[in-house]
Structure 1
Amino acid sequence: MPQKKIALIFLLLNSIFINFTFAQKISEVDKIVAKYPKSFDSTEKLADRIEKDFDSDYDRSRAIYSWIAFNIRYDYNAYLNPPRTQGFSYSSEAEKQQKIKQLNDNLIQKAFKSKKAVCEGFTALYQHLASLMGIKCEIIRGDSKISVRDIGRKTTSSNHAWNMVLIDKKWRLLDVTWGQGYYDSSKGRMVNDFNPAYFDTDPDYFFAKHFPDSGTYLGKRLSKEDFLNGPLIYNTTIENDYKIKSPDSGIIEARNGDKITFEIKNLSKSNQVFYVNKRNQAVKVQNPKEKRGGLEFQITIDNNVGEYITVFVDGNSVVSIKIV
């Protein structure tokens, strides 16, 4: 089966099953923010409302995430047809910084007023609202990993941006762009579906799907090779702490008759575990064993296994690997 068709199947299945899981993860902060107006006269008035309703920096940071995710939509048309880079001239460093600030302010206000943005707008608006509340926030740019086609990808260009916020002397990772929804390839449009998995995400999960241009996180060197060649994990994996213990590589060399061993944390025999073969048929895993707080099972490589194997748990995609 062609690679594009396989990727489409996996993305479609993931988008179908994603809604139920996250509908159950709404926090009390989210419930309050969901009742806010969709529009405010200014970012300052929105920040004032959040500061009034919530006492801690953690809840305020979550409230910013929730409001943006509920109300700002990903501008897929702008993603497909990005505007030409806007240049400018300057005669001094002060004038340069002033013009950069003006461009950033325009980006923030455009996202806030139009209710549409790509990741640059999401991250700039988040940072701006956090700064109005005295919360230290950074914008991080880098690479992202979202589909089976990214497993083993050779191109390494920067294509995404996210935020870090400093709360209680600890940096927290968040991606509000991914918090607002997902692209449904079957409908050819973005779907609004609030996703809390990318607020204060565990770094191990976060950096399985994000790689900063700096190559470091809090002074710790990260491996771009491990990022690109590792298994692809999904939102459900993060939300349910389905840590993938095996395989540790996303690229597996195998021949017909070889068995690929999977070990996934926080699963039991009560979970329905299957994969989809190249004929788009669901194949239930055989003889799974409970082991060390998780489930271990094997998938045998045969003529029905395609270029990719995606494991599903209770209808949700959890991990994909590439077979070569």
Structure 2
Amino acid sequence: MIIRKIAIVFVFFNFMTITYSQKYNAIDSIVLKYPNFGNTEKLAERIQKDFTTEYDKARAIYSWVALNINYDVKKFRNPSNPKTFNSKDKSEVDRQMKNYRDNEIKKAFRNKKGVCEDFSLLYEQIGTLSGLKVKVVIGDAKVDLTDIGRKRLYSNHAWNTVEIDGKSILIDATWGGGYLDYKTETAVKKFTPIYFDVEPKYFYAKHFPESEFKNPKMDKEAYLNGPLIYDAMIEKDCEVFLPKSGIVKVNEGDKILFKIKNLSEFNELSCFDNDDEKLEMFILKEENNVLEFEILCKKKMTQFITFYRNQKALASFKIITK
């Protein structure tokens, strides 16, 4: 949860693991052998000793946080009351907030668990101690089928940006550490490298910064109405060209045209609705690495459909049949 003057609920996203490059293997292998450190200062010293470039340091911190911090399901399910700071002196309020944040970071580091705020604050502190320019970003995250076409934005997640050689890269160490199994209400530890230095087109399909809520430079409607994409979609660099929205309105019996990049293995594709009924797919053509296919809408109802490749979810859409 994020500690602010108002109560904010946090979410944790369910996602899959992927393979990663040899360079990241080398960095992760070093970090995996790290002993327990007494504080973040000692960890930062070790990272600066083992890695020289800003990018490798940023990656090492991501690996350490994702590999070592567990998601705190109890804290997520039972968030504490929001912390308030009262003083006419703004500097005193800032001091109290800093002390509280520092204590929360120490607690997460010591207990090796936390929620998204703890992951992002911990990343920020270790990064700053390592000489990096790191920011914590608060905003909205799309995590569920019902988020497709949602009417409003929420401050329900936290992540980081890091400035590397004058360019800001996007990092979500919480999602890099595993996922929450809602059936068993347990956190599953599974290192997921794709949430380090994510391409903006994918990252912002799943994240919307709070700073953009009121005067957005980003397209809020496109974000809220876009399809829900999953890790396999990012891993394979798949991009949806059609439909233009994640909400598709059609007549019963119509076919919906889809165009998705990098889906050449169409024999490995499948599509199911939210009743687990398999839908028939009609492959039209593949051209310039873009697969065109259609789905027949038989039901007169609102439903969600999800595409899978080798049983891994790619993307979900909300279908409204008249």
For residues 108-187 of structure 1, the aligned pairs below 5 Å read: 108-187=105-184
Which one-letter code corresponds to 1:273 in the other structure? L
Deviation at 1:137, TM superposition (A): 0.6
Alignment-derived partner of residue 36 in structure 1: 34
Question: Is 1:100 paired with 2:97?
Answer: yes
Deviation at 1:322, TM superposition (A): 0.3
1:234 aligns with 2:230: yes
Q: CA deviation at 1:250?
A: 0.7
- Once the two structures are superposed, residues 105-156 of structure 1 have per-residue CA deviations (whole angstroms, 9 ceiling, x without a partner) of 0111011011111111111100000110110011111111011110011232
Aligned to 1:289: 285
CA 1:139–1:24: 2 relative to 1, 3 Å: closer
Report if the CA contact (8 A) 2:85-2:97 is conserved. Answer: no
Q: Equivalent residues in 2 for 1:50-65 (5 A)?
A: 50-65=47-62
* 1:11 corresponding residue in structure 2: none
Q: Is structure 2 residue 249 aligned with structure 1 residue 253?
A: yes
Determine if contact 1:211/1:227 at 8 Å carries over to the other structure. yes
Q: CA RMSD in A?
A: 2.1
Instruction: Note the 1:81-100 alignment, pairs <5 A.
Output: 81-90=78-87, 92-100=89-97
What SS does structure 2 have at the residue aligned with 1:155? coil
- Count of residue pairs brought into register by the alignment: 304
Q: For residues 66-121 of structure 1, give each alpha carbon's deviation from its aligned partner in whole angstroms, at most 9, with x where no partner exists.
A: 00000101112211211111223335333222212101101110110111111111
Which residue does the alignment assign to 2:10? Answer: none
Residue 27 (structure 1) aligns with: 25
Partners of 1:169 and 1:136 in 2: CA distance: 10
Contact preservation (8 Å) 2:252, 2:300: no
Instruction: Give the Å deviation of 1:312.
Output: 0.7
Q: Secondary structure at the match of 1:308?
A: strand
Map of 1:201 onto structure 2: 198
Q: How far apart are the structure 1 equivalents of 2:20 and 2:149?
A: 34
- 1:31–1:306 distance in 2 versus 1, CA, 3 Å: farther
Tell me how far apart the structure 2 counterparts of residues 229 and 65 of structure 1 sit (CA, whole Å).
30
Work out the CA distance in 2 between the residues paired with 1:297 and 1:287: 4
User: Does 2:302 correspond to 1:311?
Assistant: no
Bigger share in helix: 1
Structure 1: distance between partners of 2:275 and 2:83: 47
- Cα deviations by residue, 1:29-75 (Å, 9 ceiling, x for unpaired): 112212222x3111111111111111111010000000000010111
Residue in structure 2 matched with residue 213 of structure 1 by the alignment = 210
Residue equivalent to 2:8? none
Unaligned runs of 5+ in 1: 1-13
Residue deviations 1:162-201 (CA, integer Å, cap 9, x gap)? 1000001100011111111111223221111111111110
3-state SS in 1 of match to 2:250? coil
Q: Does the CA contact (< 8 Å) of 2:273 and 2:303 recur in 1?
A: no
Secondary structure of residue in 2 paired with 1:79: helix
Distance 1:305 1:172 in 2: 41
| Contact residue 277 and residue 305 of structure 1 kept, 8 A | no
Moved more, 72-81 or 305-314: 305-314
The 1:189/1:284 distance shift into structure 2, 3 A limit, reads farther
Contact 1:277 1:306 in 2 (8 A): no
Q: Aligned AA for 1:85?
A: P
| % identity of equivalent residues | 43
In the alignment, is residue 277 of structure 1 matched against residue 273 of structure 2? yes
Residue 48 to residue 288, structure 1, CA distance change in 2 (3 Å): farther
Retained in 1: the 8 A contact 2:232–2:312?
yes
1:24 deviates by: 5.0
Q: Distance in 1 between matches of 2:188 and 2:289?
A: 35
